[in-house]
Amino acid sequence: MKKKLLIVERDTDILQIIMDIFRDAGYQVSGYTSEEGILEKIFRESPDAILLDVVRPTLQGTALCRAIKATEKTRHVPVIALSTHLSFAEIKKICADEVLAKPFDIDELIETIDRQVEH
């Protein structure tokens, strides 16, 4: 059975690239460019991992990530954050299971998702 990956990435071009990469890697993928209504989509789709674009490592910027980890139904789902900010430790401390830099290395991204899904 294919592992399910839910991706939230604001940039449609980057979203499409990531979706193609993970489809080729054997994942069932769903992608969204907005956080609006995303918790309900997560509940409905029950992903094995979530790849989340974190624009700023602030309370507002990590709100969705914190909500995922605070909700009984989703707290077990690994959240991997992508960010251009250098505050990786802060993002990880606040909510994410892993944090990767943008621009990302494709092999590292796949390895990170694979590792988190197998946990």
pLDDT of residue 49: 98
Instruction: Answer whether residue 18 shows pLDDT above 90.
Output: yes
Q: pTM of this prediction?
A: 0.92
Class of domain 4-118: alpha beta
User: For 43-97, what is each residue's pLDDT tens digit?
Assistant: 999 999 999 998 766 556 688 999 999 999 999 999 999 988 756 677 777 789 9
Higher-pLDDT residue of 8 and 93 is 8
Residue position matching structure tokens 């460019």: 33
pLDDT of residue 40: 96
Encode 72-100: b = buried (16+ Cβ within 10 Å), e = exposed: eebeebbbbbbbebebbeebeebbbbbbb
Domain range annotation of the chain: 4-118
